[in-house]
């Protein structure tokens, strides 16, 4: 229901009187009533260009059809979206758009998610009256990651508006005029801004092609999961697309509280290490690979024989995994926990408000909630001192980041001072030399659980693995198996179950559960009524 104070407008949509917030465009207002008007150049995140004309509708206020993406609703306005005039206008625009379009869908990466293809199917003619030669426009690289296939461009200017308004870098322009116009860059100034990949997403056709995804998959064969980017502490909402269980592409997922419709290129293309030849894929001891049960027995043996165990956590672990580490640490007396942080990167903020964080990891905030604010500060220094003075023999360390150096040189050097090391790592690296046990670690896209972004937003990330086809037991499973073997856990739980345990013992998470987090996350402080910050603890 509209807010009492918001002025509303009464108008007529396809013969039915309807009401919307005043000032909306016809297109947006109609969509609120379930009437989808086709559009190419309109994008909710960009300024209105009104150049493609596909969104024309019949209006009682105009002798000619009007474009619904820019025309606003008004009292008494009567709009028809399916009348003969409207349908005819739409079909004519479609025919016009297709005059020079190659319709090379069979070899086009956009096929299956192409707006032109969809509208052509529903509004286009089934044959062409155009017998002249089609125009040829350039196919070329516009930058290191993007090419233009000019023949497919419908000159909607979404991509140029993106570079003008969202990234603020203005590398793209439309050159030439009329049926020769096409997207280009100034000679010698390629498109290489940190948000460039988004232009490919918003291109309604297959004109902008990402080199990374070119000819990689037909989009209808891929499976999709709502997830979160682990590239930095912003926690951009993303969709992970896989083919036969392998990641093929990451796409931003709309979340107006976090990333709008966008994501950065570093996050978008930063998943190749998942399939690196240097992946640690099985547990091993000094004498070779260990199967799951033997690795757990070996782990327990070490714990049993260690007077004092220390844990070095990382900011990639989910809150659930951290909770399990916390429980494990609590179950052995006199344990120490500290955390390591990857080197800071560069932060960036763009004209339209999109931000990239300098913290190149997803869950520092969550770890501080689970272990207390000093875990990367005073606790970490304390742990380092204890390692230095030789008072720690056994340490369990985690590295879920993409760096083969693990926790970095300083920490690696400190770790060596503990004679028995159990190390979790995504990639092989020198820091694993001499370890008592090495376990494969899950990379951010493989984790199932929650992270807390730098804005205190609790969000759910989902594993790109096919359920039941996991290459190795992730930390969530392994740490629970350990607990079972130690006799501290009676049954193993999903990430949601572990989160419930966490919310019962850790005040910042009190009152929350996985299903309430939903697809767009929530602020840690947004508790259901009746649950105080201290509740549940």
Partner 1 sequence: MAVTLSFSPSTMKQYEWLLTRYPTRRAALLPTLRLAESEFGEIGVPEMRYVADLMEIPPAFVFGVVTFYTHYRRAGTGKYHIQVCSTLSCALRGSEDVVTRITERLGIVPGETTDCGLFSLSKVECLGSCDTAPMLQMNDDYHEDLSIDDVDQLIEQLRESAKGGSN
Q: Which of 153, 280, 375, 506 touches ligand SF4 by CB under 6 A?
A: 153
Question: Does residue 464 bind ligand FES (CB under 6 A)?
Answer: no
Question: Does residue 299 bind ligand FES (CB under 6 A)?
Answer: no
In this structure, how many other beta carbons lie within 10 angstroms of the beta carbon of residue 174? 16
The pairing of strands 437-440 and 420-425 is parallel
Of 184-192, 219-227, 313-321, 467-475, which segment contacts partner 1 by CB under 8 A? 184-192
Smallest distance from ligand SF4 to CB 149, Å: 8
**372: nearest Cα among 507, 282, 279:** 507
Which three-class secondary structure state does DSSP give residue 348? strand
Question: Does residue 158 bind ligand SF4 (CB under 6 A)?
Answer: yes
Question: Does residue 112 bind ligand FES (CB under 6 A)?
Answer: no
Q: Are 218 and 112 in contact (CB under 8 A)?
A: yes
Contact of residue 205 among ligand SF4, ligand FES, partner 1, none (CB under 5-8 Å per partner type) = ligand SF4
Contact of residue 159 among partner 1, ligand FES, ligand SF4, none (CB under 5-8 Å per partner type) = ligand SF4
Question: Does residue 66 bind ligand FES (CB under 6 A)?
Answer: no
What order do you get walking across the sheet with 394-399 strand by strand? 288-289, 284-285, 437-440, 420-425, 394-399, 309-313, 336-339
Nearer to partner 1 by Cβ, of 174 and 243: the residue is 174
Q: Which of 34, 63, 106, 187 touches partner 1 by CB under 8 A?
A: 187
Of 40-48, 78-86, 132-140, 331-339, which segment contacts ligand FES by CB under 6 A? 40-48
Of 10-18, 181-189, 383-391, 509-517, which segment contacts partner 1 by CB under 8 A? 181-189
Contacts of 160 (CB under 8 A, 6+ apart): 172, 173, 174, 183
**512: nearest Cα among 525, 13, 467, 347:** 525
**376: nearest Cα among 333, 402, 407:** 407
Question: Does residue 356 bind ligand SF4 (CB under 6 A)?
Answer: yes
Nearer to partner 1 by Cβ, of 169 and 306: the residue is 169
Q: CA-CA distance, 91 to 53, in Å (whole number)?
A: 11
Q: Are 457 and 255 in contact (CB under 8 A)?
A: no
In this structure, how many other beta carbons lie within 10 angstroms of the beta carbon of residue 421? 23
Question: Does residue 142 bind ligand SF4 (CB under 6 A)?
Answer: no
Contacts of 246 (CB under 8 A, 6+ apart): 275
Phi, psi angles (nearest 5°) of residue 102: -70, -15
Nearer to partner 1 by Cβ, of 177 and 491: the residue is 177
Show the binding pattern over residues 68-107: x = contacts ligand FES (CB under 6 A), - = does not. -x--------------------------------------
**Positive/negative CA dihedral, 71, 75, 76, 81:** positive
Q: Which of 26, 86, 207, 432 touches ligand SF4 by CB under 6 A?
A: 207
Nearer to partner 1 by Cβ, of 134 and 382: the residue is 134
Contact of residue 229 among ligand FES, partner 1, ligand SF4, none (CB under 5-8 Å per partner type) = ligand SF4
Question: Does residue 177 bind partner 1 (CB under 8 A)?
Answer: yes
**Interacting residues toward ligand FES by CB under 6 A:** 39-42, 50-55, 67, 69
């Amino acid at each position: 229901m509209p807010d009492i104070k918001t002025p509303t407008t009464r108008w007529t949509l396809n013969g039915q009187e309807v009401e919307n917030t005043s000032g909306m465009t016809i297109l947006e207002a109609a969509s609120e009533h379930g009437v989808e008007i086709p559009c190419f150049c309109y994008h909710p995140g960009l300024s209105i260009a009104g150049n493609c004309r596909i969104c024309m509708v019949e209006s009682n206020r105009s002798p000619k059809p009007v474009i619904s993406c820019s025309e606003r609703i008004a009292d008494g306005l009567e709009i028809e979206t399916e009348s003969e005039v409207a349908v005819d206008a739409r079909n004519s625009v479609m025919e016009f758009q297709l005059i020079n379009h190659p319709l090379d869908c069979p070899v086009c990466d956009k096929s299956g998610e192409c707006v032109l293809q969809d509208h052509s199917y529903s509004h286009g003619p089934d044959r062409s009256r155009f017998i002249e030669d089609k125009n040829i426009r350039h196919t070329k690289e516009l930058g290191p990651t993007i090419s233009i296939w000019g023949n497919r461009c419908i000159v909607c200017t979404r991509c140029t508006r993106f570079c003008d308004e969202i990234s603020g870098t203005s590398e793209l322009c439309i050159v030439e005029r009329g049926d020769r116009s096409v997207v280009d860059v100034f000679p010698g100034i390629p498109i290489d801004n940190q948000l460039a990949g988004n232009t490919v997403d918003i291109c309604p056709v297959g004109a902008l092609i990402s080199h990374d995804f070119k000819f990689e998959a037909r989009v209808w064969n891929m499976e999709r999961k709502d997830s979160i980017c682990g590239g930095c502490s912003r926690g951009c909402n993303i969709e992970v697309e896989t083919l036969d269980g392998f990641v093929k592409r990451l796409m931003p997922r709309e979340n107006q509280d976090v990333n709008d419709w966008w994501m950065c290129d570093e996050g978008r293309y930063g998943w190749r290490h998942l399939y690196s030849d240097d992946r640690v894929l099985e547990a091993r001891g000094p004498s070779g690979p260990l199967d799951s049960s033997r690795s757990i027995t070996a782990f327990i043996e070490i714990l049993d024989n260690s007077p004092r165990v220390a844990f070095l956590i990382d900011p990639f672990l989910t809150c659930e995994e951290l909770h399990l580490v916390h429980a494990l640490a609590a179950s052995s007396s006199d344990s120490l926990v500290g955390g390591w942080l990857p080197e800071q990167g560069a932060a960036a903020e763009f004209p339209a408000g999109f931000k990239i964080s300098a913290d190149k990891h997803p869950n520092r905030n969550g770890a501080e909630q689970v272990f207390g604010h000093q875990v990367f500060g005073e606790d970490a220094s304390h742990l380092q001192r204890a390692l230095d003075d030789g008072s720690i023999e056994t340490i369990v360390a985690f590295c879920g980041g993409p760096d083969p150096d693990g926790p970095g040189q300083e920490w690696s050097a400190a770790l060596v001072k503990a004679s028995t090391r159990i190390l979790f790592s995504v990639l092989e690296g020198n820091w694993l030399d001499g370890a008592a046990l090495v376990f494969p670690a899950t990379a951010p896209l493989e984790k199932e659980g929650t992270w807390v972004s730098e804005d205190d937003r609790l969000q759910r990330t989902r594993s790109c693995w096919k359920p039941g086809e996991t290459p190795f037991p992730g930390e969530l499973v392994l740490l629970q198996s350990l607990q079972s073997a130690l006799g501290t856990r009676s049954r193993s739980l999903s990430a949601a179950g572990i989160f419930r345990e966490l919310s019962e013992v850790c005040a910042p998470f009190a009152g929350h559960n996985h299903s309430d987090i939903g697809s767009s996350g929530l602020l840690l402080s947004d508790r259901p009524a009746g649950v105080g910050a201290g509740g549940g603890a």
